[in-house]
Amino acid sequence: MDKFWEFILQKKIIGPVIVLIVGLAFTYIIKNIVKRLFIKGKNTFEQKKRATVVQLTTNVLKFFIYGIMLIIILEIYGVDTRSMIASLGIAGVVLGLALQETVKDFISGLSIIVDSYFVVGEMVTINGVTGEVIEMNIKSTKIKKYTGEVLVISNRNINQVINLSQMRAGIKIEVPTDYDEEVEHVEDTLRKVVTEAKKIPNVYQDSTYLGIEDFKDSSINYSIMIYCKQDEQWEIRRKVLRMIKLAYEEANIKIPYSQIEVHNGKKII
């Protein structure tokens, strides 16, 4: 038993373990300090932006701490790290050439945050792919599509971004209505629908009834415009369509639909 503890307590055995424990604990502490410093914001966008800064900063600090841990462990095993560090000047040039793309990714990541292209949690369209930004680090950004797939794109390849969360959406709904219905009755009904729609969370108060949009073969199309938070437009559209259907039923307003007459070969008198 004494030999066992003597073996365990050797510098080359216990030393790296202590370095790993201390390094990981220090990483955890630093991450929480950075989070407390940056996570607060005046609004949701600021909070998301600061959360993105926290994620990127902690990733950089993590690699830095891991590098120091590696140097200390090498020292424990008798490796002359001073000569290694001295030679980093030449190695740095070679490494810099080898990691040009990674450096570009890092700089692009900083530009994205500083210029407020997007932050973690926002809906964006990049390279024709629309989804939620779920992660951003020093090299790449991850976007989760509605269907569940995750796109991983290098930060340097993000040149044009459509941010769907930093703007509002306009939902234009055309409602086909029977020609026999009184215009004033239809307009009053649709105005009531818009008023009720404004009570839905994330719907803006400048939503409005637009008027008669078009004369179709079997209907008059009336239009309303609902303004809402960008990433909520699909759910809100479904809710408003349901409200229109219920309002038309209550007001006895007909929505025309295509009909087919079948004569079965008989002569119609």
Q: What is the pLDDT of residue 9?
A: 55
Closest by Cα among 186, 180, 139 to 158:
139
- Main-chain phi, psi angles of 265, to 5 degrees: 80, 0
State the pLDDT at residue 267.
56
Specify the domain boundaries for CATH 3.30.70.100 within the chain. 168-250
Give the per-residue pLDDT at 260: 60
Amino acid at 84: M
pLDDT tens, N- to C-terminus, the chain (269 residues)? 555 555 555 666 677 778 788 878 877 777 777 666 655 555 555 566 566 666 667 777 777 777 777 777 777 777 666 666 655 555 555 555 555 666 677 777 777 766 667 777 778 888 788 888 888 777 788 888 877 888 888 888 887 788 777 667 788 999 999 999 999 999 999 999 999 999 999 899 889 999 999 998 889 999 999 988 877 888 999 999 999 999 999 999 999 876 665 656 555 55
CA dist 244 and 204 (Å) reads 18
User: What is the structure's pLDDT at 262?
Assistant: 62
Predicted local confidence at residue 35, as pLDDT? 66
* 137 burial type by CB count under 10 A (0-12 exposed, 13-18 middle, 19+ buried): middle
Q: How many residues does the chain have?
A: 269
Say what the pLDDT of residue 166 is.
66
Q: Domain 168-250: which CATH class?
A: alpha beta
Q: Which pTM does this prediction carry?
A: 0.46
Q: How far is CA 188 from CA 163, 177, 193, 218, 246, in A?
A: 36, 13, 9, 21, 14
